[in-house]
Amino acid sequence: MSRVGVLVAMATMGACGGEMFDEAEVVEQQGLPATYNNRSWGGSDAKAGATAKAKSLGDPQPIAMTCCTSETLYGTADNFALPQDTTYVSPGFNSYLTSVGISAAIRGKFDEPGMDRHFVESLKFGERKEQIDAYCKFGVRLHLKSNGTYDSGSNANNDSAIIMASAGNANSVPIVAQSLGLHPTGVPYDHTFNLKPYSAQIGSKDFIDVRVQDDTSVDYVALVRGKMVPVNMCAISAEPASSLR
């Protein structure tokens, strides 16, 4: 058997039986660069050489990620067009509203053109705390316009939006309330609630309840969810919520 043949057999034995041999003999027979002399087959130096070769072929580039959002729409994005879109109020939200004197007679719908009407809508969603925490964004976006004079001491300049949550027939519980601020009459604007900090409260319920009082019109409400994806795979989407009710 030639010496090269012996070396091949030894290499096979090493692979099967775990034995090691000096690569210098391979160098001698095959004319490999001297820098490989006295390195054990499969050792750390050999791995380093393979890494260097891989780098010479071009390092893989890190994948650019982005928080890609999708929206579930409640109401129709029709720029406040009439006729008005109907709203849905969960049993728990209805119990709360009744308890504080917000009767059906003064509750508003989507695209409400008048004043002194409380917009109320329940968003069916179903995620638990762990699911909400996994989103890079989770919140509610309201598309609004003022129906009253914004620069006086009354009407829409003192309006606010309240996010609540409910399950079953138990009274809806408050989560967060914010002033809507001053906005010119009839000019659409967005107001967004970041609800990730409230995942524990919301994740134990079945509905996110929205109340806007009481001189501000609501075109639609969007439940916003965001997931981290490669930039080239992000397609922002919006879908109606009619199938969730």
Residues 127-150 pLDDT 10s: 999 999 999 999 999 999 998 765
How crowded is the C-beta side of 56, counted as CA atoms within 13 Å?
6
How crowded is the C-beta side of 60, counted as CA atoms within 13 Å?
4
- On whether both 128 and 147 belong to a single domain, the answer is yes
pLDDT single digits (tens) 187-210: 999 999 999 999 999 999 999 999
Residue 227 neighbours by CB under 8 Å, 6+ apart:
67, 68, 134, 135, 136
Q: Is the pLDDT of residue 172 over 70?
A: yes
- On whether both 93 and 170 belong to a single domain, the answer is yes
- The pLDDT value given to residue 11: 33
**pLDDT bucket at 61, cuts 50 / 70 / 90:** confident
Q: Which residue did the predictor score with more confidence, 113 or 94?
A: 94
- On whether both 157 and 236 belong to a single domain, the answer is yes
- The token pair at 82 is 């009439």
Average pLDDT score, the chain:
79
- On whether both 43 and 74 belong to a single domain, the answer is no
- The pLDDT value given to residue 182: 85
- On whether both 88 and 21 belong to a single domain, the answer is no
**pLDDT bucket at 181, cuts 50 / 70 / 90:** confident
Question: Among the three residues 33, 56, 79, which one is the final residue of a domain in this structure?
Answer: 56
Enclosing domain of residue 40 = 3-56
- On whether both 196 and 221 belong to a single domain, the answer is yes
pLDDT single digits (tens) 1-57: 433 333 333 333 333 344 443 443 333 444 444 433 333 334 444 455 555 554 555
> Residue 29: what residue type?
Q
User: Contact at 8 Å (CB) between 239 and 94?
Assistant: no
User: Contact at 8 Å (CB) between 28 and 6?
Assistant: no
- On whether both 212 and 171 belong to a single domain, the answer is yes
- On whether both 73 and 90 belong to a single domain, the answer is yes
What is the percentage of the chain residues whose pLDDT exceeds 70?
Answer: 69
Surface-to-core class of residue 92, CB atoms within 10 Å of its CB (0-12 exposed, 13-18 middle, 19+ buried): buried
**pLDDT bucket at 81, cuts 50 / 70 / 90:** very high
Average pLDDT over residues 66-74: 94
Question: Among the three residues 56, 73, 98, which one is the final residue of a domain in this structure?
Answer: 56
Q: What is the CATH number of the domain that holds 118?
A: 2.60.120
- The pLDDT value given to residue 19: 42
- Count how many domains the chain has: 2
- The pLDDT value given to residue 31: 44
- On whether both 209 and 171 belong to a single domain, the answer is yes
- The pLDDT value given to residue 3: 32
- On whether both 118 and 48 belong to a single domain, the answer is no
- On whether both 49 and 71 belong to a single domain, the answer is no
Average pLDDT over residues 156-180: 94
- On whether both 39 and 73 belong to a single domain, the answer is no
Average pLDDT over residues 82-103: 96
